[in-house]
């Protein structure tokens, strides 16, 4: 039941449950980039007529995925995909970062992901 003013309605509205959202971070090079990037990229690499990566240290070659409601969502060769958390064929995540919480329901999240998968992110 709501009190007379809109401001009070907001104060008395039931709170939605929150669900944790994680970012899983994978190193596609499995540590090789961290060990060898400076020697491999010691000479200049040309990209669009500019020198890039010359002598740079690359800690990793990163791939990320979002984990929410017990599923891991990521971009793959065939667009947006899902799997059990930590079950990607590229190995275990190097980092699991809590990036926040959502009040969206699982159904709302799935609808959003489906729109992304059916749209420009195939």
pLDDT (tens place) for every residue of the chain, 122 residues total: 455 555 555 556 667 889 999 999 999 998 888 777 666 665 555 555 555 555 677 788 899 999 999 999 998 888 888 999 999 889 999 999 999 999 999 999 999 988 887 876 66
Distance between first and last Cα of the chain: 45
Three-state DSSP class for residue 32:
helix
- Determine the pLDDT at residue 1: 46
- Determine the pLDDT at residue 45: 54
- Determine the pLDDT at residue 39: 63
Domain ranges of the chain: 17-118
**111-114, Cβ contacts within 8 angstroms, sequence gap of 24 or more:** 113/73, 113/80, 113/82
Query: What's the CATH class of domain 17-118?
Result: alpha beta
Q: What is the pTM of this model?
A: 0.72
Three-state DSSP class for residue 78:
coil
**Distance from C-alpha of 119 to C-alpha of 53, rounded to nearest angstrom:** 34
One-character DSSP codes across 7-23: HHHHHHSPPPP-EEEEE
- Determine the pLDDT at residue 59: 85
- Determine the pLDDT at residue 87: 93
> Which residue carries 């740079």 as its tokens?
56
- Determine the pLDDT at residue 116: 81
């Amino acid at each position: 039941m709501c009190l007379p003013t809109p401001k009070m309605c907001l104060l008395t509205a039931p709170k939605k449950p929150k669900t944790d959202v994680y970012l899983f971070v994978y190193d596609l090079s499995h540590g090789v980039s961290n060990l060898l990037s400076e020697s491999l990229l010691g000479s200049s690499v040309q990209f669009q007529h500019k020198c890039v990566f010359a002598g740079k240290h690359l800690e990793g070659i990163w791939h990320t995925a979002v984990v929410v409601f017990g599923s891991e969502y990521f971009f793959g060769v065939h667009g947006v995909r899902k799997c059990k958390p930590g079950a990607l064929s590229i190995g275990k995540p190097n980092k699991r970062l809590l990036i926040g919480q959502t009040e969206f329901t699982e159904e709302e999240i799935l609808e959003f992901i489906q729109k992304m998968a059916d749209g420009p992110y195939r």
